[in-house]
Each structure stands twice: as structure tokens, then as C-alpha cells.
Amino acid sequence: MNEIWAEAQRRGITRLCHFTKSANLAHILATGEIRDALTLRAGTEGFRPTDRARLDGYPDHINCSIEYPNTWYLDRARAEDPHFQDWVVLLLDPALLSLPGAKFCPYNAARGLGGGVSSGIAAFTDLFQAAVSGNARRVRTVRHPDWWPTDDQAEVLLPGPIPLRHVHGVVVKDAAQAELEHYRLTQHLDMGTVLPPLIIAPTLFDKYLLSQNVRAGHRPAELPFIP
């Protein structure tokens, strides 16, 4: 067994998260994979990247987080593209942590132009240090869950593309968005057979509330969407 995956299981990690504009969801379902920025730029299809600059220096990797989304960066991305306010969070198989080429950063990977990004079991366990200094010093308390990195913005960079079979769910912010996405993708685009389950979880889109809940050891409510 891969030692990174073994450590992830020991910590109780159940999923990875990758957020994207909801406008990109149909493309992901149609192609059957989440494509990295480098692959998308080389293609002929139009796409709206979440991070145009990719200051982390790894455009051939897909930015993910452990267990819950990096809502701090999501909030900034939403502000930079006011015309596209609907986003989704894709829930990924945590076994992807053991992919060859997977990299880790204990804080936002763009900080220091990717200088904190590394690979291997030591880099993975660094996500859970007693204290991490990214844009500020973050510390673990007795209530901090084993499965949650010390810094909310800790990142996992997975080599792309990621096949759709590794996407186990799609999180939306409210029932209205769930209904819209379901109608658009099943009725209008006829993608119902490949659409992963939709999940409603408003807290996953609120940076303050999510951080407060998770750091206190509480898992926010998540409700399955039933058409």
C-alpha cells in the first residue's frame, strides 16, 4: 500500500475537493475527465480557467484540497469574475493522493511562486504540522480534526487529467442551483447518465462559517438533491 494513502486512511480522510465554475461542468461530463490548465490551453474548446496566472508553476496539475474546498481562494475567484457567480465543488476519490506525481503544499501553492510545493510522504505530513506559516501563522488545537490540514488553504496538486470515474459527487450552494444544474445537464444536455450525485451544502461556500465549523471538529450539513 502506498504510504501516503495509508497515512490518509489513518487520518480518516474521505475525499478531495476541486472547485470550478458551473459553466465548466458540462465540458467535464462530455469529455469524461477534469483537464489540467495546460491541456485545456492546448485544446480547441473555449474554457474559463479558475486561475489564469498559475503562480504555483504547475499548470499540468489540478489544484485540490483535502476534505473541504479552499473557500478562501474560491471567494477571491468569484470576486474576480462577477459574471459567473455559480460554482460547484467536485468530490474526488481520496486514493488519488497516491498518484505518481502528486504534490503537496502546506499553504496556498501560489505563495512564493510554488516554492512550498513538494512531493512524497514528508510533504504530505507537512500539511498537518502543529503550526504552518503561510499568509499567517496557523496552529492546530485539541479540537482540530486529524483529517483537516493545519492551514485551510493547504493544497494537493494532482497530475491531470483526472477521469470522471473518480468524481463521486457535485456540491452546490443551494436547492435553486441544484434544480438549475440538474435541469440543464439532464434535460437540456442529456447528460443524466454521467452526472454524479448532486449535494446541497451552503456552508462549503462560506469561508468563515466553514473554517469555524471544521476547526471546531464539526462537519457541515450536506443534503443529497432529490429531483
Exposed, middle or buried by CB within 10 Å (0-12, 13-18, 19+), for 16?
buried
Binding-site entries: 18-20, 54
Q: Where is the binding site for NAD(+), in residues?
A: 18-20, 54
Distance of CA 198 to CAs 1, 72, 162, 181, 192, Å? 31, 22, 19, 9, 11
Angle between helices 207-215 and 71-80 (to 10 degrees): 180
DSSP track, 84-133: ---EEEEEE-GGGGGSTT-EEESS-TTGGGGTT-B-SHHHHHGGG-SEEE
Q: Given the residues 11, 15, 111, 155, select the one marked as catalytic.
A: 155
**Is residue 54 among the annotated active site residues?**
yes
Question: How far is 21 from 19, CA to CA, in rounded Å?
Answer: 7
Give the amino acid at 144: H
Q: Give the active site residue among 11, 15, 35, 54.
A: 54
In terms of C-beta distances under 8 Å and separation of at least 24 residues, what long-range contacts does 119-125 make, across chains too? 120/4, 121/3, 121/4, 121/7, 124/4, 124/7, 124/8, 124/97, 125/7
Q: What is the Cα–Cα distance from 5 to 56, expressed in whole angstroms?
A: 24
User: Is there a catalytic annotation at residue 3?
Assistant: no
The catalytic residues are 54, 155
